[in-house]
Amino acid sequence: MKKVLIGLMLVISMVFISCGGSGKGNTIKVGWFGALTGDQAVWGENELNTVKMLFEEYNAAGGIDVGGKKYKLEVIGYDNKGDAQEAVNVTKRLTGQDKVVAILGPNASGNAIPIAPILEQAKVPDIATVATNPKVTVLDGKVKPYNFRVCFIDPYQGAVAAGYAYDRLGARKAAILYDVSDDYSQGLREFFKLNFEKKGGTIVADESFNGGDVDFRPQLSKIKATNPDIIFMPYFFKEVALSANQARDLGIKQVLMGGDGWPSDQLISMGGKAVEGCYFVNHLDYADPAVQDYKTRYKAKYGKETELNGYLVHDAVLVLVAGLQKAGKVNGEALAKALEGIEVQGITGKINISPETHNPEGKDAAIEKIVNGQYVFQERYAAQ
């Protein structure tokens, strides 16, 4: 029975990957967590695969130099199932039991926000990947000392979406459908609404649903009655595909628009024609020459294309390594201080971590359009 229980614990709650190093003084342990089960598992798997690949590449090249000593990198990864309480649990395990020097991920704001007290107590920094809610790094005007990220934030993303809808697409009336149970969705909805109205536009419908819902017809029927120019859907690809198909079934022909929760191969396969001609805000242009080498290496290793998350966690690893080298020692507190003000040229753009916000200030957004089942870059767009 004991062996069975141990086996179940390993299968259900933990994924451990060792990428070289003896664990006897020349190995740096780094934590990662995200969803490896559930609707967002495709993103979690992509992130963890990318970290494994990069750590293996660093180790094959002899490791990284920190304070004149060579270290191998080891990642300890946990599945938090996309659950906020499980995010707290695995953070406690990584910092307390596994003694990691830093954590990479998660991608979800709702999972990144509640882990701050554990990080502060353990003095272990976290570098979030696609967690865009402002509260991930700043709360009540005060920066969280051990929370960092490599993505732009919801106020900026919402402003970009609103500005593009108004200035480029000519929308004057907008409807919003959002997930009231999700921090990310609530944040994007708030800042899209604020900035669209600042531009002179009108929000003619503001409808919500709860995560896990599969029938959006009541809300969409109300939206249809307002005849908006555009419908803003700031949530994740599964619900986007479901709601887009239902919108088209109801005869809604307006352009749909969303944020960085949209891009996934599953959006195209599930959404099909319903998402054709629609737009979303993204962190990069997939055709950018800067990302091609990583894309090629990932596909060669894993036999499939990378997702959006892979690009961001790739740059989180670059920031981590640069931070360790700047700190000159393997220590979480020193690393956190070193991350402030650090500048790294990533594949998603130049990352300059502000000491005041722990965000990468000045990153442009990319606007993508879905054309013939492909994501087609439109332009770099900066919110005014």
**Domain co-membership, 136 together with 167:** no
Tokens (6 digits) for 88: 């707290």
**Domain co-membership, 190 together with 239:** yes
**Domain co-membership, 37 together with 88:** yes
Query: Does residue 26 form part of some domain?
Result: yes
Query: Does residue 357 form part of some domain?
Result: no
Query: Does residue 111 form part of some domain?
Result: yes
Q: Give the angle subtended at the CA of 277 by the CAs of 258 and 82, to the nearest 5°.
A: 30
The structural domain count of the chain equals 2
Tokens (6 digits) for 289: 């020459």
**Domain co-membership, 117 together with 228:** no
**pLDDT value of position 39:** 85
**Domain co-membership, 321 together with 226:** no
Query: Does residue 358 form part of some domain?
Result: no
Cβ-count burial 10-19 (b if 16+ within 10 Å, e if not): eeebebeebb
**Domain co-membership, 193 together with 50:** no
Query: Does residue 85 form part of some domain?
Result: yes
Angle at which helix 237-249 crosses helix 217-226, to 10 degrees, equals 60
**Domain co-membership, 253 together with 330:** no
**Domain co-membership, 132 together with 251:** no
**Domain co-membership, 170 together with 258:** yes
Query: Does residue 92 form part of some domain?
Result: yes
Task: Per-residue pLDDT tens, the chain, 384 aa: give them.
Answer: 433 333 333 333 444 443 433 234 799 999 999 999 998 899 999 999 999 999 999 999 999 999 999 999 999 999 999 999 999 999 999 999 999 999 999 999 999 999 999 999 999 999 999 999 999 999 999 999 999 999 999 888 999 999 999 999 999 999 999 999 998 899 999 999 999 999 999 999 999 999 999 999 999 999 999 999 999 999 999 999 999 999 999 999 999 999 999 998 889 999 999 999 999 999 999 999 999 999 999 999 999 999 999 999 999 999 999 999 999 999 999 999 999 999 999 999 889 999 999 999 878 899 999 999 999 999 988 886
Distance from C-alpha of 263 to C-alpha of 375, rounded to nearest angstrom: 8
**pLDDT value of position 233:** 98
**Domain co-membership, 232 together with 112:** no
Q: Which residue has the tokens 């990957």?
A: 17
Tokens (6 digits) for 224: 């249809």
**Domain co-membership, 247 together with 221:** yes
- pTM beyond 0.85, yes or no: no
**Domain co-membership, 57 together with 143:** yes
We report the CATH number of the domain holding residue 240 as 3.40.50.2300
The whole domain housing 236 covers: 154-282+365-381
Query: Does residue 191 form part of some domain?
Result: yes
Query: Does residue 305 form part of some domain?
Result: yes
The answer to whether the CB of 91 falls within 8 A of the CB of 299 is no
**pLDDT value of position 377:** 94
